[in-house]
Amino acid sequence: MINTVLNPCMIPNATLGIDQACLNILNLCPYPIIFYAIAWEAYTGIGIPMTILQSRLNTSLVISTKRPLHIYYQTIEPIQNHDNCHTTYTFKEHGSYRWNLSYGGDCRKIEVLRNPTESYLPIFAAFMVYILLAIFWVTSKVIVRVIRGKLSPDNVQDDLDRLQDSESVTHPVIRTTKSSTRIRSVDTFRGIAILLMIFVNNGGGKYVFFNHSAWFGLTVADLVLPWFAWIMGLTITISKRAELRVTTSRIKITLRSLRRSAILILLGLMLNSMYSKTLNDLRFPGVLQLLAVSYFVCATLETIFMKPHSQDTLLQFGRFAMFRDILDSWPQWLIMACIVATHTFITFLLPVPNCPSGYFGPGGKYEYRGKYENCTAGAAGYIDRKIFGNHTYSRTTDTIYGPLIRYDPEGLMNTIAAIFIVFLGVHAGKILLLYYQYSSRVIRWFLWAVLTGIIAGILCKFGDAEELIPVSKRMMTLSYMLTCSSFAFLLFTLLYVLVDYKQVWSGAPFIYAGTNPIFLYVGHILTKDLFPWAWNIAHPTHASVLAVNLWTTTLWAIIAYLLYRKDIIITI
């Protein structure tokens, strides 16, 4: 959080790094004191000791501006362990600040010596560039069509009107391709998820909200994996129904699902081996492993219980027709309720040595003064450490919470939790298949978005400090999964209206990435930090890092477009 090695605050005309500011502290006490600082969201009664401030001297520190900091000092003598001057302050990037400290609580407000820079301007600039590129692309396509005689200025409006009525008009099929037979809103949703995943995995411009939350809360980066799992569930419904129509052997369909899951697990282990020196520390869990297991469970359930077509007239046309999507798959709902209940009971009731029941926190040395030092991730972390040992996530030093013991954000308990969000995607697919009217689909997806959002809000008490189940991506809590599902239902509803129903948007450029998501995911991991996808920056800033990360994402979008144009779809 604070760096005193080669301190640029002590060097005239030195350049500060990303998310750094200078804090000049004058210790007016007649004795040395210890300066503490910690992110406000991680403060539970103790901060991280940063440096010793000598009496009557001014000390310049490089301080983090990523999050609001809770800062204070503690006396060394003559009264030990006496805290003073507690305050929380939001420092801004490249600003210079002054804080005068004195014993007895007489502490001045933090003063601004040099105004900070505006670190969010690069985001606005990048947004405008992409808007202009989109306008140029659409305009150029219209001009080309005019030149070729396929579109004249007099019938532009007529064509637009016909485009809106295209759902009820039968057009002659000129050419059938792999891409043309897919549901465009599904590929668009998946493309948004995979391109956003590539962007945040490459750094997200080093902005906090484009990176995963420290432990609790929700950022843009926290949405991508659940969204990918959710839309995978939706495609399970469509693909398994199609497979059942081709073959009546449910065993063969299940074996295909097993083969696909095994390939995903193998790819995940191969990617994990890039970060392991030996097999002794090879990480077993991972993103692809989590997707593989949750896919297999939901695909198997759908294979066992699905019907090639509904034979229940009462559910089709009777008074229960409005609940057809639920009643049609009541066995899956019953099994899923058991899975969620089991996960919840383990979380709250499993005895973890020297840890409270139902603990969701990061633990570590500074969580409640080390009271839960060995409780990282509660029951989920305990199970992963017992089952996988050293074959888990290896990064145990957190920039916010300090050193932590091993845990895995895609471990066993988190994989079980992910099964539920995949199943919610399966249910969204059932709505798509069982209801043929546009309004019936949209209303149900919207109601599910509201329902999952309300339940998530109740579980986390809408952000209250005394939440029952907090929102945490690191532990994939139930409230987190429901929150992400709520946003997924909303986003897909919007895409379905714009892309498939109204057809006012083709889904580009996201639809291209959505046709080859696994290829893009594996490819961006293998080429990470390699030219021409990325390059090292001598003096990184938010603007320069954002430019590189956007270029990386754009290059993969271009590759996806070329594959789409060649009608190449790489599946496993």
Active site residue 212: yes
Which residues, other chains included, contact 222 with Cβ-Cβ below 8 Å and sequence gap of 6+? 212, 213, 473, 480, 484
Sign of CA dihedral 278, 280, 281, 282: positive
197 and 225 in contact (C-beta within 8 Å)?
yes
Of the candidates 494, 505, 478, 501, the residue with the CA atom closest to the CA atom of residue 446: 494
How many other CB atoms sit within 10 Å of the CB of residue 58?
12
What type of residue sits at position 82? H
List beta partners, residue 24: 60, 98
- DSSP conformational letter for 78: S
Q: What is the residue-wise DSSP string for 79-106?
A: STT-EEEEEEE---TT-EEEEEE-TTS-
Helix, strand or coil for residue 371?
coil
Both tokens assigned to 223:
């949405």
- Write out the H or E segment, with its range, that includes residue 186: helix 184-201
The active-site residue out of 212, 427, 524, 542 is 212
* 3-class secondary structure per residue, 295-334: HHHHHHHHHHHCCCCCCCHHHHHCCCHHHHHHHCCHHHHH
Both tokens assigned to 534:
């990325």
54 and 41 in contact (C-beta within 8 Å)?
no
Both tokens assigned to 108:
């001045």
Helix, strand or coil for residue 71?
strand
Task: List the catalytic residues.
Answer: 212
